[in-house]
Amino acid sequence: MSWKEKFVLMRRLPLAALTVVAVVLPLWIFEWGPSDAALLDNNATNGLTQAALDLRASAPIDMLDLAPLPQPVVQNIKVRKGDTLMDIFVKAGLTRGNAIKAIQALSKIYNPKRLRPGQDIEFVFEPAALLEPDDADAAKGELKQITVHPDLFREYTVYQLDDDKFTAKYIKQAIETKLARASGKISSSLYLSAVNAGVPVLVLMELIRIYSWDVDFQRSIRAGDQFDVMYERKITEKGEFARYGNILYANLKLGKTDNPLYLFTGKKGFSDYFDPKGRSARKALMRTPINGARLSSGYGRRRHPVLGYNKMHRGVDFAAPRGTPIFAAGSGTVVYRARNGGYGNYVRIRHNSEYSTAYGHMKSFRRSVRRGSRVRQGQIIGYVGSTGRSTGPHLHYEILHRGRQTNPMRVKMPSGKHLKGKELARFMNVRAATEIKLADLPKSKKVAQRTKKLILAK
């Protein structure tokens, strides 16, 4: 809006109305929840743009409480002759200090001398990005747990707690793996449709997590879309259900497009999901760098409820309670970490020559994350607040492509790893094997509930 237009507008409005506008305006601008007042450009064009109309037409269907956590990174390392726990833990990337602490905790329930060649040790890490697509180690964030599997019936797990302490737990009499499959059509809600089809909630959450790189569950899922998932159930020697294992295959059919994904473990022991051509489902940037949040305001022009003209919102807002952790959407370098006008406490991360992401209104920054720090995807960088010109606690999130803000819900994400050569050939074999298992479990087949039946171990 030009100066002249503003002047005309001011002369037309009585002073009282102007006062109301000046005071109440920031609280009114955003019809869907807390949002930011300062990050909008005035724009005098009338009528909602398509983007804004889309946003209204697609009020969230469901899944608001099941916003996905970033997917953990799982690495299996096989014990070789002569290996000690220390060798293996260091190989998995633990510092010697942490390895010692983890071994001390584990030793309370497991004798390290019983370690045998051929055993698998499983490491679970918080996720980080595959910006360097061929460097799977770069994807590992902080360690969460380590499990020693001496045989089918025993598991010894060490958990790393938040304060860098370790605790260990022994689970006996695991496990035989059974496969289950569930599929269905989405009616009003993915959640209800999936649960009605027999998909356990934990499996459903994992399904959402697998697809969260590409599918915006608050906007992209429509009635009539279909899901199909094949997953593992772990059964004890007594035939009792123990826990769910991995999803081996999933397909979300959105409109007319199938989006199948297959679980594949690469040669370094990393497991991940890949499309039929061997492209990783894991992307370089997350669309929603926060957990459990509600999209409160989308990208694009929005009609001003009082003055009637439109404003451009160059990011998306996620409403979340004050103090909710905010994740780095991708690995990169922190290039800005300070107050920044209407953005309040603001962080910008440069991911590569093309992409940056920005985060506004933070209550506070994570202490260890400073300007110049290298951060990993999924690492906490700060906490939700309402600093700057904001009307309530929320995260204002921007994805910048070549320095320009783009719509995080629409931008085509830079892709992750693409399998090549021998790895691709191995993947194609795994994919074929998975498809044979799928064919053995027809879509209509109900989830097996054989909890009483005795299943003999081999």
- The least CB distance from residue 336 to Zn ion, in Å, is 17
Comparing CB distances to Zn ion, the nearer of 181 and 396 is: 396
Q: How many binding residues for Zn ion (CB under 5 A)? A: 4
Comparing CB distances to Zn ion, the nearer of 67 and 73 is: 67
Tokens 């690469």 appear where?
266
Site for Zn ion in 87-126 (CB under 5 A): none
Instruction: Rule CB under 5 A: say whether 302 interacts with Zn ion.
Output: no
- The least CB distance from residue 27 to Zn ion, in Å, is 15
Task: Point out which span in 36-44, 48-56, 264-272, 273-281 binds Zn ion (CB under 5 A).
Answer: 36-44
Distance CA 318, CA 33 (A): 9
Comparing CB distances to Zn ion, the nearer of 184 and 344 is: 344
- The least CB distance from residue 328 to Zn ion, in Å, is 18
Comparing CB distances to Zn ion, the nearer of 29 and 194 is: 29
Task: Point out which span in 29-37, 66-74, 241-249, 380-388 binds Zn ion (CB under 5 A).
Answer: 29-37
Task: Point out which span in 31-39, 97-105, 237-245, 320-328 binds Zn ion (CB under 5 A).
Answer: 31-39
Site for Zn ion in 64-83 (CB under 5 A): none
Comparing CB distances to Zn ion, the nearer of 211 and 359 is: 359
- The least CB distance from residue 35 to Zn ion, in Å, is 6
- The least CB distance from residue 385 to Zn ion, in Å, is 13
Distance CA 202, CA 192 (A): 14
CA 73-76-80 angle, 5° bins: 150
Query: Contact with Zn ion (CB under 5 A): which of 181, 337, 396, 431?
Result: 396
Comparing CB distances to Zn ion, the nearer of 393 and 416 is: 393
- The least CB distance from residue 364 to Zn ion, in Å, is 19
Q: Per residue, what are the HEC states of the chain?
A: CCHHHHHHHHHHCCHHHHHHHHHHHHHHCCCCCCCECCCEEEECCCCCCHHHHHHHHCCCCCCHHHCCCCCCEEEEEECCCCCCHHHHHHHCCCCHHHHHHHHHHHHCCCCHHHCCCCCEEEEEEEECCCCCCCCHHHHEEEEEEEEEEEECCEEEEEEECCCCCEEEEEEECEEEEEEEEEEEECCCCHHHHHHHCCCCHHHHHHHHHHHCCCCCCCCCCCCCCEEEEEEEEEEECCCCEEEEEEEEEEEEEECCECCEEEEEECCCCEEEEECCCCEECCCCCCCCCECCCEEEECCEEEECCCCCCEEEECCEEEECCCCCEEECCCCEEEEEEEECHHHCEEEEEECCCCEEEEEEEECEECCCCCCCCEECCCCEEEECECCCCECCCEEEEEEEECCEEECCCCCCCCCCCECCHHHHHHHHHHHHHHHHHHHHCCCCCCCCCCCCCCCCCC
Comparing CB distances to Zn ion, the nearer of 140 and 396 is: 396
- The least CB distance from residue 314 to Zn ion, in Å, is 8
Comparing CB distances to Zn ion, the nearer of 189 and 406 is: 406
- The least CB distance from residue 40 to Zn ion, in Å, is 8
Comparing CB distances to Zn ion, the nearer of 123 and 343 is: 343
- The least CB distance from residue 29 to Zn ion, in Å, is 10
- What phi and psi values does residue 315 have, to the nearest 5 degrees? -160, -165
Site for Zn ion in 314-333 (CB under 5 A): 315, 317
- The least CB distance from residue 270 to Zn ion, in Å, is 35
- How would you label 41-71 residue by residue, b for 16+ Cβ within 10 Å and e otherwise? eeeeeeebbebbeebeeeeebbbeebbbbbb
Q: In this chain, which residue has its C-beta nearest to Zn ion? A: 396
Query: Contact with Zn ion (CB under 5 A): which of 34, 36, 274, 390?
Result: 36
Site for Zn ion in 322-381 (CB under 5 A): none
Distance CA 403, CA 351 (A): 12
Comparing CB distances to Zn ion, the nearer of 31 and 151 is: 31
Task: Point out which span in 35-43, 61-69, 90-98, 107-115 binds Zn ion (CB under 5 A).
Answer: 35-43
- The least CB distance from residue 52 to Zn ion, in Å, is 14
Comparing CB distances to Zn ion, the nearer of 133 and 298 is: 298
Residues in the site for Zn ion, rule: CB under 5 A? 36, 315, 317, 396
